[in-house]
Structure 1
Amino acid sequence: MSRKVIAVLGVGPGLGLSMAHRFGREGFVTALVSRNAERHEGYRASLSAAGIESRGYVADVADEGELRGVLARIASDLGEIDTVYFGPGNLESGAGIVPITELDAETVRGPYEATLIPPVNAVAAALPPMLERGDGALFFAGGLSGKYPMPLLGSLAPATAALRMYVLTLAAALEGRGVYAATLTIGGLIERGDIHRFVQEHAARTGEAVPGTLDPDDIADTAWNMYVARDRAEAEFNALTQPV
């Protein structure tokens, strides 16, 4: 039996690395993809210490050409990609938010294109070989404002909702075809992630409270269980005191 490969697109020190570890523990070879290789050595050392084989790749997954190219390289180097985890982006970090009452076509277009178009391109590139062999999985990280009204997140909310519905609809369309799709709907700061570190540093300077946090290992465990069971298309992780 050939080994399985997971492509972690937009790997970071939080959930992306936890996904690599969790699937790697099950025998997957992990392909780590980010815009630069600056932190790949550390990620790979962490995986190697756990007995997990990995390889690093540099690509901007927001660029369709680079995305298609890196997925092709991974398949050529490591074998057919069984699972894609798409996790880049700021997951409702608050950067550049425009109030929902002030949106126009231009201000909604940027978040929409940044949030939805790259995952759609990833599916367009990765799905055909999965369908051909009748097996595979696609995971996406999304935000809680895609599920509940959260006015504070303004212009991010429509784009996040669009991504969530895209994944849920994709999952429904793939039923009975051997390929699984699911969204990990996240409300809170991912521990060890870049945004978490930034917020902690800000809180240390200002004395402000740090919002609720989530352990990426717990999320990755849930993702693995979803991969095995394939009986739901969404898992919600909510560390916020109120969803709205």
Structure 2
Amino acid sequence: MTTIAIVGAGPGLGAAVARRFGREGYDVALVARDRDRLEALAGELAAAGVTARGFAADVRDPSSLAAALGAAAKELGPVEVLQYSPVPQRDFMLPVLETTHTDLLGPVEFSVYGPVAAVQQVLPGMRALGRGTILLVNGGTAVVPHPERAGTSIAFAAESAYGHLLHDRLAPEGIHVAQLVIPGAIVPGHPRKDPAVLADTLWTLHRDRHGFRHYADDLYG
């Protein structure tokens, strides 16, 4: 079996996705900034029978992200599934009239440079396998911009455009690209936005390979 790499892996959605794909036999590469937390999460997954390893990287540093994904492929095997789902920083969410061009650097590094670097790193391996899945996870501002959250609204829109372009170009090669939009917060116990439910949704997107944009819940309501 091959590997799923979860960029932005944490104790909520990342851990749930790791368990879900692990049940299907995938090895799991956990990518995030905090090495100690990654090691702890990998240990929890190992206790549950999932082969997982932590690889520290900052998504705002494309070279470190590429290096982490390269190390993951070398240690665990080719990355067949890439999930890009880091949680944006609060200072990305300034009101639009208070947002300067320098305030957009972080969001663009986070939501554009990071995904592009990750995809470029894993794409050769997917092509060698003859299959692959790229899963982009975004908040509701990817679809409906919010005037109080200008940074994520702008950067998520750019990430969405990149993903859609990839979806169209890579489909003939057997590589599926999908976006899951999660309006609002991830909520334990919620019928559609509980981490385990979202992990099932992401597994279904990988398995069924249909369409680009999908919604975890209603945008309004």
8 Å CA contact 2:27–2:52 kept in 1: the answer is yes
Assess, with a 3 A threshold, how the Cα gap between structure 1 residues 13 and 102 changes in structure 2: closer, same or farther.
same
Instruction: Normalising by structure 2, report the TM-score.
Output: 0.89
Instruction: Normalising by structure 1, report the TM-score.
Output: 0.81
Say if 2:97 is the partner of 1:101: yes
The structural deviation recorded for 1:221 is 0.4
8 Å CA contact 1:188–1:214 kept in 2: the answer is no
The structural deviation recorded for 1:239 is 6.5
Q: Which residue type is aligned with residue 69 of structure 1?
A: A
Greater Rg, structure 1 or structure 2? 1
Q: Which residue type is aligned with residue 78 of structure 2?
A: E
Q: Tell me which residue corresponds to 2:78.
A: 80
Q: Which residue type is aligned with residue 214 of structure 1?
A: K
The structural deviation recorded for 1:52 is 1.3
Q: Tell me which residue corresponds to 1:24.
A: 22
What secondary structure, in the 3-state scheme, does the structure 2 residue paired with 1:225 have?
helix
Question: Structure 2 residue aligned with 1:127, among 120, 123, 138?
Answer: 123
Q: How many residues align?
A: 219
8 Å CA contact 1:146–1:161 kept in 2: the answer is yes
C-alpha separation between the residues in 2 aligned to 1:235 and 1:10? 20
The structural deviation recorded for 1:185 is 1.0
Q: Which residue type is aligned with residue 12 of structure 1?
A: G
The structural deviation recorded for 1:94 is 4.1
The structural deviation recorded for 1:174 is 1.0
Task: Report sequence identity in percent.
Answer: 34
Q: Which residue type is aligned with residue 215 of structure 1?
A: D
Please tell me the root mean square deviation across aligned C-alpha atoms, in Å.
2.2
C-alpha separation between the residues in 2 aligned to 1:128 and 1:41? 27
C-alpha separation between the residues in 1 aligned to 2:170 and 2:17? 23
Alignment of structure 1 residues 16-165 onto 2, 5 Å: 16-90=14-88, 94-165=90-161
Alignment of structure 1 residues 228-243 onto 2, 5 Å: 228-238=207-217, 241-242=220-221
Q: Which residue type is aligned with residue 70 of structure 1?
A: A
8 Å CA contact 1:6–1:84 kept in 2: the answer is yes
Q: Describe the superposition over 1:203-236 as per-residue Cα deviations: whole angstroms up to 9, x where unpaired.
A: xxxxxxxxxx921111110111111110121221
Q: Describe the superposition over 1:47-75 as per-residue Cα deviations: whole angstroms up to 9, x where unpaired.
A: 22332111222222322221221122111
8 Å CA contact 2:92–2:106 kept in 1: the answer is no
Q: Which residue type is aligned with residue 156 of structure 1?
A: T
The structural deviation recorded for 1:144 is 0.8
The structural deviation recorded for 1:25 is 0.7
Q: Describe the superposition over 1:90-142 as per-residue Cα deviations: whole angstroms up to 9, x where unpaired.
A: 2xx64353322344433333322222111111111111221233211111111
C-alpha separation between the residues in 2 aligned to 1:94 and 1:177? 37
Mean Cα displacement is larger for which, 50-59 or 98-107?
98-107
Runs of 4 or more above 4 Å deviation: 239-242
Which structure 1 segments of 5+ residues have no match? Answer: 193-212
Assess, with a 3 A threshold, how the Cα gap between structure 1 residues 134 and 69 changes in structure 2: closer, same or farther.
same
Q: Tell me which residue corresponds to 2:10.
A: 12
C-alpha separation between the residues in 1 aligned to 2:137 and 2:213? 10
Q: Describe the superposition over 1:130-167 as per-residue Cα deviations: whole angstroms up to 9, x where unpaired.
A: 12332111111112111013223223211111111211
